[in-house]
Amino acid sequence: MNFRHLIDYNDISGEDWAMLIDLANDIKKSPNRYTSECKTKVMATLFYEPSTRTQLSFQTAMLRLGGQVIGFSDPKNSSIAKGESLRDTIKIVSGYADITVIRNPIEGAAYAASLYSTVPVINAGDGSHLHPTQTMTDMYTIVREKGRYENLTIGFCGDLANGRTVHSLAKAFSYYKNNTLYFISTEALRLPQYIINLLSDSGNKIYIVDSLEEHIAAFDILYMTRIQRERFGSVEEYEAQSGIYILNSEKLKQAKDDLLIMHPLPKTDEISFEVDDDPRSKYFEQAENGLYIRMALILLLCENYGYKITPPVYPMPQRRFCSNARCISNHERYLPEKIKRSGSGSLCEYCENTVLN
Amino acid sequence: MNFRHLIDYNDISGEDWAMLIDLANDIKKSPNRYTSECKTKVMATLFYEPSTRTQLSFQTAMLRLGGQVIGFSDPKNSSIAKGESLRDTIKIVSGYADITVIRNPIEGAAYAASLYSTVPVINAGDGSHLHPTQTMTDMYTIVREKGRYENLTIGFCGDLANGRTVHSLAKAFSYYKNNTLYFISTEALRLPQYIINLLSDSGNKIYIVDSLEEHIAAFDILYMTRIQRERFGSVEEYEAQSGIYILNSEKLKQAKDDLLIMHPLPKTDEISFEVDDDPRSKYFEQAENGLYIRMALILLLCENYGYKITPPVYPMPQRRFCSNARCISNHERYLPEKIKRSGSGSLCEYCENTVLN
Amino acid sequence: MNFRHLIDYNDISGEDWAMLIDLANDIKKSPNRYTSECKTKVMATLFYEPSTRTQLSFQTAMLRLGGQVIGFSDPKNSSIAKGESLRDTIKIVSGYADITVIRNPIEGAAYAASLYSTVPVINAGDGSHLHPTQTMTDMYTIVREKGRYENLTIGFCGDLANGRTVHSLAKAFSYYKNNTLYFISTEALRLPQYIINLLSDSGNKIYIVDSLEEHIAAFDILYMTRIQRERFGSVEEYEAQSGIYILNSEKLKQAKDDLLIMHPLPKTDEISFEVDDDPRSKYFEQAENGLYIRMALILLLCENYGYKITPPVYPMPQRRFCSNARCISNHERYLPEKIKRSGSGSLCEYCENTVLN
């Protein structure tokens, strides 16, 4: 296994991903064989912002492996969260736990944590940047249901501008080819151009469209997301347009019999209640798959990296180097300068934004 | 065992109740025999309003059976609690847990949850409607201490108008007969008439009285409850009357030597401190009994229904059908119309209020 | 083992302390031998004020011994915390748990709790009064690193007036002799006179000084603490003086090669970032030691007092007897009068302040 920390879904090699899928499948099939695999292990869940669902999923995963869980879920109640540097918190928690799950509203926080942790770190969301176990959940569900990541026609529908989930999943498909991807949204909620470029370069067909109804018949997979009311310019605009992006049984009449309907959940109005009972809807199974893929991840990290390492001593940074005000490097000023080459330019390794000159 | 979900104490048949009592007695006697009975099981505690004591009792029960616990306790911190339908939350949690305990301020919420859950659901309080494990705790304590549910003289004292605990316990006695029940309160805090009718019809003697002191000598059981200061018309009224309903050692001088003093706890001023040390006071043991009866309940549900079921597909409701604004059917609009016959009329199955025409 | 409850570090005899150190050392060396020692035991953590770090440390300790944890961490969310007497809460929790850890902002609360608990009670902080497991952590770290409690030169630096941690540690040294203790602070943040007297009487040399830099070369141990900005008279004063008490690599150049640098954590500006990487800094190991000494404490209490006792019946107090408004005896009015002789006078046993005549 080639990663000690899971910060980004793209850290996972094809070989490791195949191993994770196999393990998750076996756990789903024979959960009773895994009930003591992490016995005597303790996982810390450091949630600097509340995310009940994600935390429940990680907690359940560890408990079902026979391990135990400590942590906090509310920054206001946490003396750990205020005043103390992230580095100090991580060093102390490393003394308590065998594996750490971190969620933090600041971009790059999980990567920063991994620099100082003596135990494996899993990123459970760093602001609007990454949420790799959600992407793992989605990719795992797709391969279970469709058996492949190529030659698929996929519709992404809803708020494509702001959804971290869709961005990550779309980026994951840039590693595969011969897919036809429809991005369905209002003009204001289009997918960012850099992701469109990434996908086009990788040998997938891309269509940017307005209507769900016109294209639904072509889809193997339909990935729905929430549109928050406040994303529309006015209430009138919301009422006029939101219906176009609501999935109901009427629209589904034109869809394929083996369409796979996905949603990262929670959902509200964007899927009509009756669609839940359509056998093509797999979003609740998708949520359950998230449990099994997290169990597989935790188990492999504990098995392969179940010992403490001493992180290196990093030099203090000489200057601000990241252009992004929400980057952890601009909040925790001791963090070492970390810059990576990316195509034509340089990116901050914490948050993947452009660096300052 | 004839119930998969525990929503209402009255769901329990006499046979099942006898089995629960036997099991609770054995757990209390030999707790070490039960420390692995629910090993590998996970219980979800979904507390949409905080109730530390109830949650602690359920958590301890599951942990002492060797199981594990996930959940949330504060709606404000819970992304699960906002926006998402109860149905969605239950479906997702069913993918994580083997048994679910739910507390919700909306009446009928636990019953609604049970319609969509693939695992057993226990009602830990649905607004002012039901709290069946409290009633189980009370009934279990009575049978342990008195050995019977008939030929008892019982005083209920305090706020009888608003106390869900007293209502449920009194209703439970409508299944037995030859008891003499005293309801002691101020005029404003009388027991609701429908419960009085229920009890009279069932062959028990009912007395509605003002004074604790005058009747205490007759009691086999005295069930005390809190009177909240704001239930009185004025501070003067409170100070004039509250003393009448305070149990102290002076009043206890007239009571039987084997009086059983109960209280659902927490208590404040309604029982003088010195009464705690009277051997007739059993409210702390009552609280501990609550642990054993909950252990018995969880164990039997996990043993008998430790597999997942697929709930049926329910039709969407055609109209509002319940007259109660605090009924879950008026908050979660997809819930199917559920109406049951009750004597002369029809009642909403969620909250047991009258239905709309 | 001569104590059933741990309220005060000074309750521990030399013999018991030696046993705790040996056990903590063995747990640190061979943690896998202890993973089932408290199997089937349940610990309650009653945190009436949030203290994430302390609670995490206790929870981890119990989980690593194979036990389980229940509890609450936030008074606002806890129905247990409001209205109900501490005595009632403790009696009820005694019915659930095998050992109780309590943190409470009121002085003497843990001692008061121990009077009514049927299971062992550990004080995890009672206001600004005591925090014995922090002192145990400090004393354990000192003996591990230095092998002795005598013939040491120790510097205490920072806010010595308000820090409970420093007070307790300094008092612990009054049981040993031939140490040279430097107390380094601004005029306004001096150590209280009664502790200075205690230490002088015990045969240790005391120096009250202003400068860290002047004396650092002499120290075997340097115990740093936080200075809160608001302790200074003005921003100017803060900026002028705080630097004097900041430990950086420049000042450390003069220090001994085997200096032991300690800090109770969390820390903020008082230690420069680069000092973390100095091998003489042991504060993260100190935090980890806190885990092992708590494991030893919990294990010994569960082993030696793993049965329930019935506390005696205490007489109601006849009067207010403590001069301290923040004493638990002035908040929970049923608490029995508890006064102890101390040198020339009498002290309240709850909070160790002077008694009223």
- Cβ A293 vs Cβ A137: under 8 Å: yes
Strands (E), chain A: 42-47, 68-72, 99-104, 121-126, 153-157, 180-184, 205-209, 221-224, 260-262, 339-342, 345-348
Q: In what order do the strands lie in the sheet with C42-47?
A: C68-72, C42-47, C99-104, C121-126
Pair B351, B108: CB distance under 8 Å: yes
Task: For residue C132, report the phi and psi dihedrals to the nearest 5 degrees.
Answer: -65, -30
Cα dihedral value B75, B79, B82, B88, nearest 10: -110
> Which chain C residues are closer than 8 Å to B59 by Cβ?
70
Q: Which amino acid is at C328?
A: I
Q: Give the per-residue pLDDT at B82.
A: 59
Q: Taking the mean position of all CA atoms in its chain, how far away is CA A167?
A: 9
Alpha carbon dihedral C125, C128, C130, C135, in 10-degree steps, equals 90
Q: In 10 A of CB C291, how many CB atoms?
A: 23
Q: Looking at the structure, do residues B229 and B147 belong to the same domain, yes or no?
A: yes
In a domain, C310, yes or no: no
Mind listing the pLDDT tens digit for each residue in C144-186? 999 999 999 999 999 999 888 999 999 999 999 999 999 999 9
Geometric angle at alpha carbon A341, from A338 and A345, rounded to 5°: 115
C-alpha dihedral sign at A85, A86, A87, A92: positive
pLDDT score of C50: 86
Mean pLDDT (chain A, rounded): 93
Task: Say if the Cβ atoms of B96 and A60 lie within 8 Å.
Answer: yes
For C118, the closest chain B residue by CA position comes to: B284
Interface test with B, best of A38, A52, A141, A275 (most B CBs within 10 A): A52
Q: Strands C339-342 and C345-348: what pairing?
A: antiparallel
Report if residue B64 sits inside a domain.
Answer: yes
For residues A157 and A154, what is the distance between their CA atoms, to the nearest angstrom? 10
Give me the count of residues in chain B.
357
Over range C346-357, report the average pLDDT: 93
Helix (H) or strand (E) holding B43: strand B42-47
CA distance B70 to chain A (A): 7
H-helix segments, A190-282: 193-201, 235-241, 249-252
CATH number for the domain that contains residue C231: 3.40.50.1370
A-contacting residues in C 115-174 (Cβ below 8 Å): none
Q: Is residue B51 within 8 angstroms of chain C, CB to CB?
A: yes
pLDDT of C240 reads: 75
CA B336/CA B322 separation, integer angstroms: 11
Q: Which structural domain range is residue B353 located in?
A: 317-357
Query: Tens digit of pLDDT per residue, chain B (357 long)?
Result: 899 999 999 999 999 999 999 999 999 999 999 999 999 999 999 999 888 899 999 999 999 999 999 999 876 656 565 589 999 999 999 999 999 999 999 999 999 999 999 999 999 999 989 999 999 999 999 999 999 999 999 999 999 998 889 999 999 999 999 999 999 999 989 999 989 998 989 999 999 999 999 999 999 999 999 887 777 778 887 777 777 899 999 999 999 999 999 999 999 889 999 999 999 999 999 999 999 999 999 999 999 999 999 999 999 999 999 999 999 999 999 999 999 998 778 999 999 999 998
Would the CB atoms of B84 and A56 count as touching at under 8 Å?
no
* Burial class, C57, CB count within 10 angstroms (exposed 0-12 / middle 13-18 / buried 19+): buried
Q: Is the pLDDT of residue A22 over 60?
A: yes
Q: Tell whether A35 and A49 lie within a shared domain.
A: yes
DSSP A93: H
Using CA of residue C196, residue C197, residue C199, residue C205, what is the dihedral sign?
positive
Q: How confident is the model at residue A188, as a pLDDT?
A: 86
Task: For residue C151, tell me if it sits in a domain.
Answer: yes
Instruction: Determine the residue of chain C that is closest to B279 in CA distance.
Output: C313
Nearest-CA residue of chain A relative to B85? A268
Helical H runs in A148-275? Answer: 164-173, 193-201, 235-241, 249-252
Q: What is the pLDDT of residues C207-247, one digit of tens each?
A: 999 999 999 999 999 999 988 777 777 888 777 777 789 99
CB nearest to A50's CB, from B77, B83, B87? B77
Find residues 298-357 of chain C whose CB sits inside 8 Å of chain B.
313, 316, 334
Residue B81: strand, helix, or coil: helix
With beta carbons under 8 A apart, name residues in chain C contacting A77: 50, 52, 73-74
- In this prediction, residue A81 carries a pLDDT of 55
* Calpha distance B124→B106 (Å, rounded): 12
Question: In chain C, what residues touch A334 (CB-CB under 8 Å)?
Answer: 273
Contact A52 B79 (CB under 8 A): yes
Same structural domain for residues A147 and A257? yes
Sign of CA dihedral A85, A88, A94, A95: negative
The band of A269, judged by pLDDT with boundaries at 50, 70 and 90, is confident
Domain membership of residue C50 (yes or no) is yes
Residues C138 and C275 in one domain: yes
Position A357 in a domain: yes
- Among B40, B70, B83, the residue with its CB nearest the CB of A60 is B70
Confidence band, pLDDT 50/70/90 cuts, at residue C343: confident
Interface contact flag, B52 C79, Cβ < 8 Å: yes
Determine whether the interchain pair B287/C93 forms a contact, defined as Cβ–Cβ distance below 8 Å: no
Query: Token pair for residue C353?
Result: 């302040």
Look at residues C331, C332, C333, C327 and name the one whose alpha carbon lies nearest to residue C347.
C327
Q: What is the pLDDT of residue C75?
A: 65
Who contacts A134 (Cβ-Cβ below 8 Å, separation ≥6)? A125, A164, A165, A168, A264, A290
Judged by CB atoms closer than 8 Å, whether chains meet at B265 and C84 is answered as yes
Query: Is B236 found in the same domain as B150?
Result: yes
Residue B310 maps to a domain: no
Chain C positions in Cβ-Cβ contact with residue B33 (cut-off 8 Å) = none
Backbone angles phi, psi at C58, to 5 degrees: -65, -45
Does the structure show a pLDDT above 90 at C80? Answer: no
Query: What does the pLDDT read at residue B79?
Result: 59
Q: Are residues A73 and A165 in the same domain?
A: no
User: Once rounded to an integer, what is the mean pLDDT over residues A282-302?
Assistant: 98
Q: Which residues contact B348 (CB under 8 A, 6 or more apart)?
A: B108, B321, B322, B323, B324, B327, B329, B338, B339, B354, B355
B357 burial level (CB within 10 Å; 0-12, 13-18, 19+): exposed
- Whether residue B312 is contained in a domain is answered as no
Both tokens assigned to B190? 């009388």
Structure tokens at A114: 């991994």
Q: List Cβ neighbours of A256 (8 Å cut-off, separation of 6 or more).
A: A217, A219, A220
One domain for residues B116 and B147: no
Between the alpha carbon of residue C93 and those of residues A357, B196, B248, C304, the distances in Å are 60, 35, 24, 20
Judge if C146 and C172 occupy the same domain: yes
Which residues, 6 or more positions from A237, have their beta carbon under 8 angstroms from its beta carbon?
A: none
Question: Within a domain: residue C3?
Answer: no
d(C-alpha A290, C-alpha B157), whole Å: 51
Q: What are the backbone angles phi and psi of residue C103, rounded to the nearest 5°?
A: -125, 135
C171 to B183, C61, C167, C195, C222: CA distances (angstroms): 59, 26, 6, 7, 16
- Locate the chain C residue with the closest alpha carbon to A333: C273
- Residues C126, C233, single domain; the answer is no
CB contact under 8 A, B77 and A52: yes
In this predicted structure, what is the pLDDT of residue C241?
75
Which stretches does DSSP call E strand in chain C?
Answer: 42-47, 68-72, 99-104, 121-126, 153-157, 180-184, 205-209, 221-224, 260-262, 339-342, 345-348
**Contact between residue A109 and residue A328 where contact means Cβ atoms under 8 Å apart:** yes
| A197 and A246 fall within a common domain | yes
Kindly report the CA angle at B215 between B166 and B169, in degrees rounded to 5? 15
Choose among A154, A129, A123, A134: nearest CA to A287: A134
- Does B277 contact C313 at a Cβ distance shorter than 8 Å? yes
- Residue in A with minimal Cα distance to C63: A68
> Which residue bears the tokens 């806890």?
C78
CA C124 centroid distance within chain = 7
| pLDDT confidence of residue C261 | 98
The answer to whether C87 contacts chain B (CB < 8 Å) is yes
Q: How far apart are CA C332 and CA C286, in angstroms?
A: 36
Cβ–Cβ gap C97/B288 under 8 Å = no
Identify whether residues A189 and A247 lie together within a single domain.
Answer: yes
Q: Is A77 in Cβ contact with C74 (below 8 Å)? A: yes
- Are B150 and B277 in a shared domain? yes
Q: Give me the number of domains chain A comprises.
A: 3
Q: Which residue has the tokens 């702001």?
A: A162
